[in-house]
Structure 1
Amino acid sequence: MVFPVGGQQLFVGEGDFSLTRSLFEHHSLPKDAIISCFSEDLTEEAAENAEYLSSAGISVITGVDATCLEKHPDISRHTFDYIIFNFPHTGHKMKIQLCRTLLRNFLCSASSLLTAQGQVWVTLCAGQGGTAGEVAPRAWSDSWQLTAQAAAAGLLLRRLEPFRPELYPGYRPTGNRGRQSRTFHTGRGVIHVLVRGAPLPLDRLADRLDAGGRALLLDGAPLPLAQYWLRRLPPADDSLAALIVSRLTSAAAAVRRRLLVRHEGRLFRAEDAVFESAGDDSVYHPPAYQLDMSFWLDGGAAADESFSWARLRRALRAVLGEVLVSLSRLDEYTQPDSGRRACTVRLQYQDLSSPLSYEAARRLHVQVLPDILSHALGVQPR
């Protein structure tokens, strides 16, 4: 059994109610669950299944828009431990942006009705989610980009489960407008379990420099992200940390897939600097964003002394910590007449413990970081 067996549950986007009927008949569906669908014009089979569930005492509601749950007069009066949407679709083929918008709007709406420990479960066809955990992964650009849509709703991907249609006798997926003739493949489908997360406090990032980050700016050569965090491990882990650092810096270390260190209840995979929480706090496949930044130096010898790429890297590490995945230099130009240098860099952001949406990453990149770098290094954003 994969689906939850207890708690207050809300199912949205049910096609013909055959899946929830199968759950009730062969597994466990709480009597106080609410089952809903978008259409008010039910097919004969959907009406039959809805009547069966209603006669068993389960609440069935039609005409429910999953993207506006907080506005529904009956549903909005409740909070839920589980909100479940199986195989969402817009009714249009080959319009992936509409699918992403549907997913984002649903997640934003659902998150407002969750209990403190509530979860959102979204089942997608193989590859649609866009995570590396798929059995049949797609390119990120060809997916629904689930983790990015979840981050916009303040949600994190906690767990992936395979959807096994053979466990639900009688379930028949419906396609456009509930039509059995327009079905889709559920084999190798994936259940994505999402939970609430605390967003990155963008307005307090500058405090990291004042709280000791300035010392980091002058602390030796720039460090790769993995080594930066390994330096922060407690002394008791020195021997293991030293082993990991030696592996990281060894040119002969070609495979490091299982090199892990535990710190404060979290597992750190050293080869690519990904944190994974231990046990029930695991977070998977957070979205990453690449953004470019250009800035001017003051010009002249004094500017060359006050600015260096190493100092820039250390400043960004001090402020962003694990959120900064990579920093690369794209271009550098010196004006012949003034001696001013223009620099362009590319930053990749990925928050490994909090939901980071593209909008938040953009705000961080455009509104927060330039002021911090101007204060710390004297550069002028372009």
Structure 2
Amino acid sequence: MSSIGDLLSLGLTDATHGNVLIVGDGNFSFARAFMRKNAASLASQQLNVMATSLDTHAELLQMYPNAGTILEELHAGGVKVIHDINATRLESYDVVTSVAPFDRILFNFPHFAEGGSRRNKIHRHRQLLRDFFASAVHVLHPQGQVWVTLCAGQGGTPADTKQRAWGDTWQIVHCAADARLLLENVHLCPVEELATLGYYSVGYQLRERAFWTSDSLSHVFCRQDSGRRAQFPIEWNRDMSFWITDNFDEATFLDMVKPFFPADRMTLSAHKLDDYHCTKTQRNAVTYRLHITSDVLALSKDDVNDRAIRALATVEASSFASSRAS
């Protein structure tokens, strides 16, 4: 944990200068806790912190009556506070881009809150994450990190202390992969120390009511080209089925497929799932399952699908195979 740090240090303790963006901070109590912990670094301008919320200033004070006192302390402590900032459109605000790039971008307990009195659909939460990651990379330093803290069980990684069915999680690693971000690290959030410093999460069902933060996890993402490796690489399976001729050779088939999944950046394995003989046409077909993973690439679904489609097209154009659609 020494190089990564936690939500209160962000691994910036030895940095000569750190540029930090906090988004979706609700009542700004996290920004206050972070400021209190890092007061000396802020005073010496070793750290520059911008804290934002989706609400306007008027909406903030109406929703969170205690926010006014927090804002006064933030201003006195050197934190730049900006209201009415949508975390999914960060690159569209001059006030944000003028300070970018950021070494750290933080989003604690993001959630799709529209219609907060109703049960929110999980796909809305996933889309919020995708849109946030897609925006964050536009204002992120090449070696920067994006930190997202979620409640226990939401993320869908092996690190979750409360394991849920995969379909019931927010699938945060896959959401980040769409923006070419790798999960570099995941660790427990320092909930007790944050509480001591005055942080309390709010916004549950659009009210001044806290999320359940016990065992919550901070997920730390980096760019896939940063030289760092994924803690939990994404794994994909893709099946290939095609007609074969009598001169089909498995080794040649694999040699055709491998260039689409370079060995220096991906791990590829394949095994035959099925042999099929069509009694009507007397043709033979095979089905192979490819297993693809990488700890240096953020392999998104679209990326893997594109590679698999191009690999299959190459195989089908060979002398020993043809498309089963024909």
TM-score by length of 1: 0.70
- Distance in 2, Cα, partners of 1:351 & 1:25: 39
Q: Find the counterpart in structure 2 of residue 158 from structure 1.
A: 184
- Distance in 2, Cα, partners of 1:70 & 1:177: 28
Deviations 1:71-98 (A, max 9, x none): 1121122211111111111125442111
- Distance in 1, Cα, partners of 2:202 & 2:157: 25
Q: Find the counterpart in structure 2 of residue 174 from structure 1.
A: 202
Q: Find the counterpart in structure 2 of residue 67 from structure 1.
A: 88
- Distance in 2, Cα, partners of 1:51 & 1:12: 18
Q: 1:33 aligns with which of 49, 52, 56?
A: 49
Q: Find the counterpart in structure 2 of residue 111 from structure 1.
A: 137
Q: Find the counterpart in structure 2 of residue 370 from structure 1.
A: 312
Q: CA deviation at 1:314?
A: 5.2
Q: 1:295 aligns with which of 242, 262, 280?
A: 242
Contact 2:91 2:138 in 1 (8 A): yes
- Distance in 2, Cα, partners of 1:157 & 1:380: 39
- Distance in 2, Cα, partners of 1:172 & 1:142: 26
The DSSP-based 3-state class of the residue aligned with 1:307 is coil
Q: 1:138 aligns with which of 119, 144, 164?
A: 164
Q: Find the counterpart in structure 2 of residue 185 from structure 1.
A: 212
Q: CA deviation at 1:379?
A: 1.5
1:339 lines up with 2:302 in the alignment: no
Structure 1 regions of 5+ residues with no counterpart? Answer: 200-279, 298-302
Q: Find the counterpart in structure 2 of residue 123 from structure 1.
A: 149
- Distance in 2, Cα, partners of 1:356 & 1:58: 36
The DSSP-based 3-state class of the residue aligned with 2:18 is coil
Contact 1:131 1:285 in 2 (8 A): yes
- After superposition, the Cα gap between the structure-2 partners of 1:56 and 1:318, relative to the gap in structure 1 and judged at 3 Å, is closer
Contact 1:126 1:187 in 2 (8 A): yes
Q: 2:31 aligns with which of 20, 24, 37?
A: 20
52-61 or 355-364, larger mean C-alpha shift: 52-61
- Distance in 1, Cα, partners of 2:72 & 2:319: 68
1:285 lines up with 2:232 in the alignment: yes
The DSSP-based 3-state class of the residue aligned with 1:38 is coil
Contact 1:159 1:282 in 2 (8 A): no
Q: 1:361 aligns with which of 288, 300, 304?
A: 304
AA matched with 2:223: R
Cα RMSD over matched residues?
Answer: 2.4
AA matched with 2:297: S
- Distance in 2, Cα, partners of 1:178 & 1:357: 32
- Distance in 1, Cα, partners of 2:67 & 2:206: 8
- Distance in 2, Cα, partners of 1:133 & 1:155: 18
The DSSP-based 3-state class of the residue aligned with 1:74 is helix
- After superposition, the Cα gap between the structure-2 partners of 1:295 and 1:107, relative to the gap in structure 1 and judged at 3 Å, is same
Contact 1:130 1:137 in 2 (8 A): yes
Structure 2 regions of 5+ residues with no counterpart? Answer: none
- Counting only pairs closer than 5 Å after superposition, residues 262-341 of structure 1 correspond to structure 2 as 281-297=228-244, 303-304=245-246, 306-313=247-254, 315-317=256-258, 319-320=260-261, 321=263, 323=266, 325-341=268-284
AA matched with 1:179: R
Contact 2:229 2:296 in 1 (8 A): no
Q: CA deviation at 1:319?
A: 4.8
Q: 2:101 aligns with which of 60, 64, 79?
A: 79
- After superposition, the Cα gap between the structure-2 partners of 1:19 and 1:370, relative to the gap in structure 1 and judged at 3 Å, is same
- After superposition, the Cα gap between the structure-2 partners of 1:37 and 1:358, relative to the gap in structure 1 and judged at 3 Å, is same
- Distance in 1, Cα, partners of 2:102 & 2:78: 18
Identity over the aligned pairs, expressed in percent? 32
Specify which structure has the higher proportion of helix: 1
Which protein is bigger by CA-based radius of gyration? 1
Q: Find the counterpart in structure 1 of residue 294 from structure 2.
A: 351
The DSSP-based 3-state class of the residue aligned with 1:355 is coil
AA matched with 1:291: R
Q: CA deviation at 1:187?
A: 1.2
Q: CA deviation at 1:307?
A: 1.0
Contact 1:317 1:324 in 2 (8 A): no
AA matched with 1:164: P
Contact 2:122 2:170 in 1 (8 A): yes
Q: Find the counterpart in structure 2 of residue 204 from structure 1.
A: none
- Distance in 1, Cα, partners of 2:225 & 2:311: 20
Contact 2:236 2:293 in 1 (8 A): yes
The DSSP-based 3-state class of the residue aligned with 2:173 is helix
Q: CA deviation at 1:51?
A: 2.7
Q: Find the counterpart in structure 1 of residue 110 from structure 2.
A: 88
Q: Find the counterpart in structure 2 of residue 230 from structure 1.
A: none
